[in-house]
Structure 1
Amino acid sequence: MSDKVCAVVVTYNRKNLLLECLKALRKQTRPIQGLYLIDNASTDGTPELLLEKGYITELPPQNIEEPWEKEFIIQNLTDGEEIKLYYVRMHENTGGAGGFYEGVKRGYEKGYDWLWLMDDDAEPKEDALESLSIYFKNSNIVGLAGSVLLPNRTIAIYHRGKINFKKVFPLIQIPLQLQEYQKQTVEIDMASFVGLLVRRNAIEKIGFPKKDFYIHHDDIEYCIRLRSIGKILLVPKSIIFHKKASKTEVEKFFLGRRKLRKNFSEYWLTYYGIRNLVWLGKRYSKSKTLFYYQMFKFLLRQILGIILLDDNKLKRIKFIINAYIDGLQGKFDNKKPKRLLYEK
C-alpha cells in the first residue's frame, strides 16, 4: 500500500455526529494512515468526549491564542493497524474554509499522498475509500469523489457536478443528471468537501483552500483551481452519507405560498454565501454583462422578499447590500456580518 491517505475532518459543535464520522473512517476496508481532526473551537464539550472515547489522551490547554496540535494513535477497526490522529484545537472558529485550510496545509506538510476532506456530518461507507483507490495510479487525476447520499439514500445532487462559467449567479454549479450515477466513472468539475480526495502533487501546484471564504463555496473555488491542472473523477459506487444539520429557517406564507426565511439571530450566516458567490462570479464569469444583470436581478428579489416577509427590514437590506459590495471589492472581513446586524 504505497499511497498514504490522511482524512481531514473539520468539526464545530457536533460532537455526536463527529463520533459517527470517526468510527466510519476507522472501519474503511482500505485503511487510512492519518486523520487530521480540526476542532474549530467547539463549545459543546467535543475535547472531553474525545478524551472519554479514547481518541485523545490529553485535553488541550485552556485559553489558547493559536492553534494547538497533538498527535495520538488510534486503531483501524478493520485490521487493527495504527492510524495517526492529529488533533488540532483552533483558538477561534475559523469556519469550514479556515478549518480545511488548516487541515490541508498540515496534512500536506506531513507528506501524505492523498487528503480526504469531509465535514463532521459525513459518514463514508466501509468500502468508500477502497472504491476510490482503484484510480490512484491515474496520474492525470487530481481529485476523486464518490456519491453523496442523504440518510434516506437519495442522491444529494448539488454536491457533485459541472461548473457553468457563462451563467454564474446565483449558482455556478450544474448538478449531474441522475443517470450519470449509473456509470463507472464520470469526469466532473466540482465536488463539495463532503468526501473530496485530493492528490498531493495537485496541492503542491495550487495551494490550500481559500480560508478567507469562512463558509460556503470554498469547495467550488478550490475545485476550479484543481480543474485547471487535471481531472476530478466521480466514482459513483463509492458512497458517503451526509447527515444534514437541522434547519433554522422560519416558515412564512405569502399569497398562499410557503416561504422559508432565516431567523434574524441566524441571519449573519447568509452574508458569506452571497459575498463568496459574487467574488467567484466577478472573477470567473465569461460574460461580465450577464453576471451583473443576474446579480442585480437577484439582489432586487432579495430586497423585495425582505420588505414583504421579514422583520428588521432596514438592517437586513443594508446587510445584504454590504455582502454584494464586499464580494465585488474582494473584501474578506469575516467578523463584519455580526457587527452589521447586532452591534449598536
Structure 2
Amino acid sequence: MAKPAGEAELTIVITTFNRAGYLSGLLESIKALDPAPAAVVVVDNASTDNTPEVLEAARRGFPVPLTVLRLETNTGGAGGFAAGTEAALADGAGWLWLMDDDVEVLPGAVAALRKWTGSYDCIHGRRLDGSGAPFFWQHRFVPFLGVHVPVRGNVFRDSPVFETNLGCFEGMLISAEQVRRIGLPDARYFINGDDLIYGWLASLDRPVAYVNDFVIRKVRAQKQIDLGIRHLNDSSDLGRFTSMRNRGHTARYLQVHGRYNRAGFALGTVLTAGKEILRLVAVERTLHGAGRLWAGWREARRILQDRSWSPTPPLPATRKQQV
C-alpha cells in the first residue's frame, strides 16, 4: 500500500488541447486549494490557440512549482496523461491527481481525498455538473462484454466508499507505486476508453475506490439527453471512430489477463455501436458520422490480428522499493 498523500508528494497532472479559457479557470481553482498540492504538471498537446501564453502567465507567481510539457504533436488525452505521468514520476511525485482541462477543483478537495490514501491506491471523488448538481459516475466494467454498465441506486447508502473496477481521468488520484506496478496509461487509445481500462488494470492490482466527497466541478457544457439512470452526451467523428477502434486494444488487454470471451465481446461491440448511433440520432439529431463507426470497427479488427501488440509494461521500481 502506498504512503498516505500527507506523507508523499501529490502532483496534479493536467492534459490540455486548445481550451485556454477552461485551462485558465482550472489553474485559478488550483491556487485556492487548501492544503495545496506539491506541484502541478501541465501537458500541452500542441495547442494552436493561446494556451502557451496562458501557461506562461500562470507560471509567474504560481503558488507551487508549475511544469509545462509541450508536445510536438497532439497525442490525445491518453498520450498526454502518459507523458504527464512519466514526468511527474521523474520529479518525485508520490501521488498523481489526473484531470482534464475542462474542470475546476473544489477548495477542500486535497484534504477530502487525502483521508482515503491510507486505504486505497486509486481513488475517485465525486463531481458536480455545470449546474452544480451531482454528476452521475457509478459504473462497473464487465469484462465479458468489454463495456462498463451503470450501477443503480445510492451506492453510498451504507458506506462512504463504493469499490469499483474502472477509472476516469477526470479526477483519478493514483499512487506512484501503483503506476509503477501497472505501467503508464496506454497512449495508443488517443481518446475514449483509455481511463476505463487503466482503472480496470489498477483494480486487478488493488480495489478502486469511488468516495462520497465532492472534489471537482465540470465546467464545459455539452449537448445531452437524460436517460434516467445516466446522461448521454454529444460526441464527434473522432470520438465515434475511437469508441470502436479502441475495442481492439481493450480486447487485447482482456486476452492478456485471461478475461476475453469472443461471443460476449462481440455482443459488447454491438452494444457500443448501438449506443453511438443512439447518441447521433437522439443527441445530435443526425446520422452523419455513422461511417466512422464502421471505420473504427475495421481498425479494431486489425489490432486484434496484430501479432506485435503488447500491453504497456510495468515501470522500474525506485531504488528504495528495490531494497
1:228 aligns with 2:231: no
C-alpha displacement of 1:322: 2.3
More strand by share: 1
1:276 aligns with 2:246: yes
SS in structure 2 at match of 1:157? coil
Aligned in 2, Cα 1:327/1:114: closer, same or farther, shift over 3 Å?
A: same
Q: Give the counterpart of 1:179 among 147, 154, 157.
A: 154
Q: Among all aligned residue pairs of Structure 1 and Structure 2, give the percentage whose two residues are the same amino acid.
A: 23
C-alpha displacement of 1:297: 7.0
- 1:23 and 1:304 map into 2 onto residues whose CA distance is 37
Is 1:274–1:327's contact at 8 Å kept on the other side of the alignment? no
- 1:55 and 1:213 map into 2 onto residues whose CA distance is 30
Is 1:6–1:35's contact at 8 Å kept on the other side of the alignment? yes
- 1:32 and 1:303 map into 2 onto residues whose CA distance is 41
Q: Give the counterpart of 1:125 among 106, 126, 136.
A: 106
1:145 aligns with 2:124: yes
- 1:121 and 1:305 map into 2 onto residues whose CA distance is 21
User: Could you say which residue in structure 1 is the equivalent of 2:58?
Assistant: 55
Aligned in 2, Cα 1:204/1:127: closer, same or farther, shift over 3 Å?
A: same
- 1:137 and 1:230 map into 2 onto residues whose CA distance is 13
- 2:46 and 2:58 map into 1 onto residues whose CA distance is 17
User: Could you say which residue in structure 2 is the equivalent of 1:30?
Assistant: 35
Report the residue type matching 1:154 in the other structure: A
1:198 aligns with 2:174: yes
Aligned residue pairs, count: 289
- 2:208 and 2:234 map into 1 onto residues whose CA distance is 35
Q: Give the counterpart of 1:291 among 259, 265, 286.
A: 265
CA RMSD of aligned residues (A): 3.3
Q: Give the counterpart of 2:183 among 185, 192, 207.
A: 207
Is 1:145–1:238's contact at 8 Å kept on the other side of the alignment? no
Report the residue type matching 1:88 in the other structure: L
* Structure 2: runs of 5+ lacking an equivalent: 1-5, 225-231, 281-285, 309-323
- 2:176 and 2:112 map into 1 onto residues whose CA distance is 19
Aligned in 2, Cα 1:135/1:297: closer, same or farther, shift over 3 Å?
A: closer
Aligned in 2, Cα 1:196/1:21: closer, same or farther, shift over 3 Å?
A: same
User: Could you say which residue in structure 1 is the equivalent of 2:15?
Assistant: 10
Higher relative contact order (CA 8 A, sep 6+): 2
Q: Give the counterpart of 2:133 among 150, 154, 157.
A: 154
Tell me the TM-score normalized by structure 2: 0.78
Which stretch shows the higher mean deviation, 215-224 or 174-183?
A: 174-183
C-alpha displacement of 1:288: 1.9
Aligned in 2, Cα 1:181/1:151: closer, same or farther, shift over 3 Å?
A: farther
Structure 1 or 2, whichever has the larger Rg, is: 1
* Structure 1: runs of 5+ lacking an equivalent: 58-72, 76-82, 250-258, 333-344
C-alpha displacement of 1:316: 4.8
Which stretch shows the higher mean deviation, 296-305 or 99-108?
A: 296-305
C-alpha displacement of 1:185: 1.6
Aligned in 2, Cα 1:146/1:48: closer, same or farther, shift over 3 Å?
A: same
Aligned 1:79-118 pairs, distance under 5 A: 83-118=64-99
- 1:131 and 1:189 map into 2 onto residues whose CA distance is 21
Q: Please give the per-residue CA displacement for 1:166-185, whole angstroms capped at 9, x wherever unaligned.
A: 233xxx22234351145422
C-alpha displacement of 1:299: 5.4
Q: Please give the per-residue CA displacement for 1:272-302, whole angstroms capped at 9, x wherever unaligned.
A: 1111134314542553222224435765997
- 1:156 and 1:173 map into 2 onto residues whose CA distance is 17
Tell me the TM-score normalized by structure 1: 0.74
Is 2:10–2:38's contact at 8 Å kept on the other side of the alignment? yes
Report the residue type matching 2:249 in the other structure: W
Is 1:157–1:175's contact at 8 Å kept on the other side of the alignment? no
C-alpha displacement of 1:244: 3.3
1:74 aligns with 2:62: yes
1:238 aligns with 2:235: no
